[in-house]
Amino acid sequence: MSGGASSWAFGEQDARRIQVILNQFLIDSNARTALIVDRTGQLVATVGEPPVFDSTAFATLTAADFSANDQLARMLGEPEFGALFHQGERESMYLADVARRVILVVLFDNRSTLGLVKLRVRTAVPELVKVFTEMFSRDASASPPVEKGILGDAEDEIDKLFGV
Protein backbone atom coordinates (compact mmCIF):
# COMPACT_ATOMS: atom_id res chain seq x y z
CA MET A 1 0.00 0.00 0.00
CA SER A 2 1.42 3.36 -0.94
CA GLY A 3 1.28 6.47 1.22
CA GLY A 4 -0.98 8.26 -1.15
CA ALA A 5 -1.72 8.13 -4.83
CA SER A 6 1.42 8.37 -6.88
CA SER A 7 2.29 11.75 -8.29
CA TRP A 8 2.47 12.09 -11.99
CA ALA A 9 4.17 14.52 -14.23
CA PHE A 10 2.92 16.02 -17.45
CA GLY A 11 5.75 17.12 -19.70
CA GLU A 12 5.99 19.59 -22.55
CA GLN A 13 6.44 16.75 -25.03
CA ASP A 14 3.22 15.13 -23.72
CA ALA A 15 1.42 18.45 -24.00
CA ARG A 16 2.47 18.82 -27.63
CA ARG A 17 1.32 15.31 -28.56
CA ILE A 18 -2.04 15.88 -26.92
CA GLN A 19 -2.41 19.25 -28.59
CA VAL A 20 -1.87 17.71 -32.02
CA ILE A 21 -4.52 15.05 -31.37
CA LEU A 22 -7.04 17.52 -29.97
CA ASN A 23 -6.47 20.16 -32.65
CA GLN A 24 -7.24 17.59 -35.30
CA PHE A 25 -10.25 16.44 -33.30
CA LEU A 26 -11.61 20.01 -33.10
CA ILE A 27 -11.21 20.48 -36.86
CA ASP A 28 -12.94 17.16 -37.59
CA SER A 29 -15.77 17.60 -35.10
CA ASN A 30 -16.43 21.36 -35.37
CA ALA A 31 -16.44 21.51 -31.59
CA ARG A 32 -15.29 24.69 -29.81
CA THR A 33 -13.05 23.53 -27.00
CA ALA A 34 -11.53 20.30 -25.74
CA LEU A 35 -10.24 19.95 -22.20
CA ILE A 36 -8.38 17.17 -20.45
CA VAL A 37 -9.22 16.85 -16.75
CA ASP A 38 -7.71 14.26 -14.45
CA ARG A 39 -9.98 12.12 -12.27
CA THR A 40 -8.96 13.99 -9.14
CA GLY A 41 -10.33 17.23 -10.58
CA GLN A 42 -7.25 18.94 -11.94
CA LEU A 43 -7.13 20.58 -15.32
CA VAL A 44 -4.38 19.08 -17.48
CA ALA A 45 -4.81 20.76 -20.86
CA THR A 46 -7.11 23.04 -22.85
CA VAL A 47 -7.21 23.25 -26.65
CA GLY A 48 -9.39 25.41 -28.91
CA GLU A 49 -11.34 28.51 -27.90
CA PRO A 50 -10.21 29.57 -24.43
CA PRO A 51 -13.06 29.02 -21.94
CA VAL A 52 -14.74 32.14 -20.58
CA PHE A 53 -15.57 30.42 -17.27
CA ASP A 54 -13.43 29.56 -14.23
CA SER A 55 -11.64 26.51 -15.60
CA THR A 56 -10.32 25.33 -12.20
CA ALA A 57 -13.85 25.11 -10.82
CA PHE A 58 -15.05 23.57 -14.07
CA ALA A 59 -12.42 20.81 -13.86
CA THR A 60 -13.36 19.99 -10.27
CA LEU A 61 -17.06 19.73 -11.08
CA THR A 62 -16.35 17.67 -14.18
CA ALA A 63 -14.39 15.10 -12.21
CA ALA A 64 -17.09 15.00 -9.53
CA ASP A 65 -19.77 14.57 -12.20
CA PHE A 66 -17.88 11.73 -13.82
CA SER A 67 -17.13 10.01 -10.51
CA ALA A 68 -20.74 10.24 -9.34
CA ASN A 69 -21.92 8.75 -12.61
CA ASP A 70 -19.34 5.99 -12.30
CA GLN A 71 -20.95 4.97 -9.04
CA LEU A 72 -24.41 5.09 -10.61
CA ALA A 73 -23.15 2.80 -13.38
CA ARG A 74 -21.94 0.28 -10.84
CA MET A 75 -25.33 0.34 -9.14
CA LEU A 76 -26.84 -0.62 -12.46
CA GLY A 77 -24.34 -3.45 -12.82
CA GLU A 78 -22.31 -1.63 -15.48
CA PRO A 79 -18.54 -1.45 -14.99
CA GLU A 80 -18.67 2.23 -15.99
CA PHE A 81 -20.36 4.82 -18.17
CA GLY A 82 -17.59 5.44 -20.67
CA ALA A 83 -19.16 8.68 -21.82
CA LEU A 84 -21.64 11.32 -20.62
CA PHE A 85 -23.61 13.94 -22.49
CA HIS A 86 -25.11 17.14 -21.11
CA GLN A 87 -27.38 19.02 -23.47
CA GLY A 88 -28.01 22.75 -23.25
CA GLU A 89 -30.04 25.11 -25.42
CA ARG A 90 -26.96 26.51 -27.13
CA GLU A 91 -23.98 24.85 -25.49
CA SER A 92 -23.53 21.16 -24.85
CA MET A 93 -20.79 19.03 -23.41
CA TYR A 94 -19.65 15.51 -24.05
CA LEU A 95 -17.35 13.69 -21.63
CA ALA A 96 -15.39 10.56 -22.40
CA ASP A 97 -13.13 8.39 -20.28
CA VAL A 98 -9.46 8.12 -21.29
CA ALA A 99 -7.42 5.25 -19.86
CA ARG A 100 -9.45 5.34 -16.61
CA ARG A 101 -7.27 8.20 -15.39
CA VAL A 102 -8.35 11.32 -17.25
CA ILE A 103 -11.49 12.68 -18.89
CA LEU A 104 -11.83 14.28 -22.31
CA VAL A 105 -14.38 17.11 -22.13
CA VAL A 106 -15.72 18.48 -25.39
CA LEU A 107 -17.67 21.74 -25.52
CA PHE A 108 -19.71 22.34 -28.65
CA ASP A 109 -22.55 24.50 -29.92
CA ASN A 110 -24.99 24.26 -32.81
CA ARG A 111 -22.17 24.35 -35.36
CA SER A 112 -21.71 20.69 -34.57
CA THR A 113 -23.92 17.77 -33.60
CA LEU A 114 -23.82 15.11 -30.93
CA GLY A 115 -23.46 12.43 -33.59
CA LEU A 116 -20.43 14.07 -35.17
CA VAL A 117 -18.75 14.71 -31.80
CA LYS A 118 -19.36 11.11 -30.74
CA LEU A 119 -17.96 9.81 -33.99
CA ARG A 120 -14.78 11.89 -33.78
CA VAL A 121 -14.32 11.12 -30.08
CA ARG A 122 -14.20 7.46 -31.04
CA THR A 123 -11.09 8.18 -33.13
CA ALA A 124 -9.43 10.62 -30.72
CA VAL A 125 -9.80 8.57 -27.53
CA PRO A 126 -7.62 5.60 -28.56
CA GLU A 127 -4.88 8.04 -29.61
CA LEU A 128 -5.12 9.82 -26.25
CA VAL A 129 -5.15 6.50 -24.41
CA LYS A 130 -1.84 5.64 -26.08
CA VAL A 131 -0.23 8.91 -24.97
CA PHE A 132 -1.54 8.70 -21.40
CA THR A 133 -0.75 5.02 -20.96
CA GLU A 134 2.84 5.75 -21.96
CA MET A 135 2.92 8.74 -19.63
CA PHE A 136 1.64 6.82 -16.62
CA SER A 137 3.90 3.83 -17.20
CA ARG A 138 6.97 6.03 -17.48
CA ASP A 139 9.33 5.80 -14.56
CA ALA A 140 8.58 8.77 -12.31
CA SER A 141 12.30 9.34 -11.90
CA ALA A 142 12.57 10.02 -15.62
CA SER A 143 10.75 13.33 -15.12
CA PRO A 144 12.93 16.36 -14.63
CA PRO A 145 13.12 17.04 -10.91
CA VAL A 146 11.43 20.03 -9.39
CA GLU A 147 14.19 22.52 -8.79
CA LYS A 148 15.96 22.12 -5.48
CA GLY A 149 15.19 24.82 -2.98
CA ILE A 150 11.50 24.90 -3.80
CA LEU A 151 10.82 23.59 -0.31
CA GLY A 152 12.30 26.54 1.55
CA ASP A 153 10.73 29.09 -0.77
CA ALA A 154 7.35 27.37 -0.56
CA GLU A 155 7.43 27.44 3.25
CA ASP A 156 8.06 31.20 3.15
CA GLU A 157 5.16 31.68 0.76
CA ILE A 158 2.89 29.58 2.98
CA ASP A 159 3.81 31.73 5.99
CA LYS A 160 3.14 34.90 4.03
CA LEU A 161 -0.15 33.79 2.54
CA PHE A 162 -1.63 31.99 5.54
CA GLY A 163 -0.12 34.26 8.17
CA VAL A 164 -3.23 36.44 8.02
Partner 1 sequence: MSMINYASREINCKLVYYGPGLGGKTTNLEHVYNKIAPTARGKMISLATETERTLFFDFLPVDLGTIRGFKVKFHLYTVPGQVYYNASRKLILKGVDGVVFVADSQIERMEANIEAMQNLYDNMSQHGYDLTQIPFVIQYNKRDLPNAAPITELQAALNPGWPVEDPQKQRVTADPFRAGEFLVTEQDGQWVERAPYFEAVAMTGEGVFDTLKAVSKLVVKTLG
Question: Which residues of this protein are in contact with partner 1, per CB under 8 A?
Answer: 1-12, 14-15, 38-42, 44-45, 54, 56-57, 60-61, 64, 67-68, 71, 143-147, 149-151, 153-155, 157-159, 161-164
Contact by Cβ (8 Å): 15, 44: no
CB of 109 to partner 1, least distance (A): 24
Closest to partner 1 by CB, 109 or 134: 134
Closest to partner 1 by CB, 87 or 162: 162
- Rounded distance, CA 149 to CA 153, Å? 7
CB of 119 to partner 1, least distance (A): 28
CB of 115 to partner 1, least distance (A): 31
- Rounded distance, CA 112 to CA 92, Å? 10
Closest to partner 1 by CB, 32 or 100: 100
CB of 122 to partner 1, least distance (A): 26
Contact by Cβ (8 Å): 48, 26: yes
Residue 28's contacts (CB-CB under 8 Å, 6 or more residues apart) are: 120, 123
Closest to partner 1 by CB, 53 or 115: 53
Q: Which of 31, 33, 29, 61 is nearest to 46 (CA)?
A: 33
- Rounded distance, CA 44 to CA 163, Å? 30
